[in-house]
Amino acid sequence: MEFDVVVVGAGLSGSVAAREFAERGKRVLVVERHRHVAGHCHDYRDDAGITVHTYGPHIFHTVDAEVWRYVRRFSEFSSYQHRVLSYADGNLVPFPINRLTINQVFGLALSSEEVAAFLEAEREASDLPETSANYRDAVVAQVGERLYAMFFRNYTRKQWNREPEELAPELAGRIPVRTNADTRYFVDPYQGLPLHGYTRLVENLLDHPGISLLLGADWFEAKDFHAPLTVFTGELDRFFDYRFGKLEYRSLSLDFRTLDVESFQEASVVNYPNDYEWTRITEFKKLTGERSPKTTILYEYPKAEGEPYYVVPSKTNTEMRERYMVEVKRLEEKGSHLFIGRLAEYKYYNMDQAIKSALSKARSVV
């Protein structure tokens, strides 16, 4: 059978692009090296009857009404509001930093207005350049030295195996800081989890007569899937056979444990910025609201090699990415390829951003 489009990867980005082309009458083949769809947001129900996220916790959130309408075409969503605790100085405190965090950490009773003044004083007392040259500077410019050291410095070292000074300041843009007592991790107007899981959502995306799916096939090894357009969602440097060097990706070692207790911790996710080797522990039933006499938890240990999860925003990688993106632009302008998603664009995307990018790029071609 001949295809109009070959999509490499059945994660969110690839599946959204495949659906867009199929709905416009294109014959689409999706090639996925794993034996499952949904990429890194894949989930399944374990033996305890709890839905776990295979590659770590994923919480959907967005400010984009169009993206929210789009995902709800393929799944109902819960009204889950994500709240995180951080284990700092022997205590569990709300994170991201807010009024309750500051009052608990410093033994104060500040109002929201007083928190703003407190943070300003913390920043003024810190050693800061005029412009934020790196991640450390960008965080200290928001919260000052003391809170940076308590919540960010060592967590960054564990997560990225880099000194914070070696990472781009843009990474700090993902960190909210609040003066009020809102303990939600995200304040986006639209958030939740798919009621029947991310895997089902992606299966629904791919459920179209114009889409054929091939699982367990590595496009790099076969490369005999030909079509006028290839949509690539895999590793950017690998596509070009590492022509300009090997980009860095951070991976994770994931330790799932099912325990004979109903509850393990006070929140669905607890961060460990300073103590222990893991960065966080997730308790999945607190995400899904499922009931079980047991509970399943996940310890995350960052590592350098393995399944690529995160791009590493260092100066070297950023410069190398720009060289690759020149080649990407050349192929996209020819109309033979599209590069979509976190790995293919070597860019940190939340799920809604990945969907938005996939919709935009696919529609620009169609």
Q: How many domains does the chain have?
A: 2
Q: What angle do CA 240, 308, 192 make, to 5 degrees?
A: 125
Residue 233 has pLDDT above 70, yes or no: yes
- Give the tens place of pLDDT for each residue, 176-216: 899 999 999 999 999 999 999 999 999 999 999 999 999 99
Rounded CA-CA distance 145/246 in Å is: 34
Are 124 and 212 part of one and the same domain? Answer: no
Are 243 and 167 part of one and the same domain? Answer: no
Cα Rg of the chain, angstroms: 22
Please report, for the domain that includes residue 353, its CATH number.
3.40.50.720
Rounded CA-CA distance 138/165 in Å is: 10
Asked if residue 144 belongs to a domain, the reply is yes
Last residue of a domain, one of 174, 209, 235: 174
Asked if residue 37 belongs to a domain, the reply is yes
Asked if residue 15 belongs to a domain, the reply is yes
- Give the tens place of pLDDT for each residue, 84-98: 999 999 999 999 999
Average pLDDT over residues 334-342: 96
Rounded CA-CA distance 243/246 in Å is: 8
- Give the tens place of pLDDT for each residue, 30-47: 999 999 999 999 999 999
Residue 184: CB atoms within 10 A of its CB come to 17
Average pLDDT over residues 319-333: 98
Are 32 and 154 part of one and the same domain? Answer: no
Q: What is the mean pLDDT of the chain?
A: 95
- What is the pLDDT at residue 366? 61
Are 331 and 239 part of one and the same domain? Answer: yes
Are 210 and 357 part of one and the same domain? Answer: yes
- Give the tens place of pLDDT for each residue, 264-316: 999 999 999 999 999 999 999 999 999 999 999 999 999 999 999 999 989 99
Tokens describing residue 213:
């799916």
Are 119 and 233 part of one and the same domain? Answer: no
- What is the pLDDT at residue 238? 96
Q: Which has the higher per-residue pLDDT, 167 or 128?
A: 167
Are 99 and 168 part of one and the same domain? Answer: yes
Rounded CA-CA distance 189/52 in Å is: 25
Asked if residue 222 belongs to a domain, the reply is yes
Rounded CA-CA distance 156/163 in Å is: 7
Asked if residue 23 belongs to a domain, the reply is yes
Which CA distances in Å does 345 have to 79, 107, 309, 316? Answer: 31, 45, 13, 16
Q: What angle do CA 313, 150, 172 make, to 5 degrees?
A: 25
φ and ψ at 157, to 5 degrees? -60, -40
Residue 155 has pLDDT above 90, yes or no: yes
Asked if residue 162 belongs to a domain, the reply is yes
φ and ψ at 190, to 5 degrees? -120, 120
Are 164 and 198 part of one and the same domain? Answer: no
Are 230 and 138 part of one and the same domain? Answer: no
Q: What angle do CA 216, 220, 225 make, to 5 degrees?
A: 80
Asked if residue 274 belongs to a domain, the reply is no
Instruction: Count the residues in the chain.
Output: 366
- What is the pLDDT at residue 172? 81
Are 107 and 165 part of one and the same domain? Answer: yes
- Which range of residues forms the domain containing residue 117? 95-174
Name the nearest CA neighbour of 332 among 213, 203, 230, 227: 230
Rounded CA-CA distance 362/16 in Å is: 9
210: left (phi over 0), alpha (psi -120 to 50) or beta: alpha
Last residue of a domain, one of 174, 209, 225: 174
Tokens describing residue 291:
């009931």
- What is the pLDDT at residue 133? 84
Residue 77 has pLDDT above 70, yes or no: yes
HEC sequence for 21-59: HHCCCCCEEEEECCCCCCHHHCEEECCCCCEEECCCCCC
Residue 327 has pLDDT above 70, yes or no: yes
Are 242 and 319 part of one and the same domain? Answer: yes
Are 318 and 241 part of one and the same domain? Answer: yes
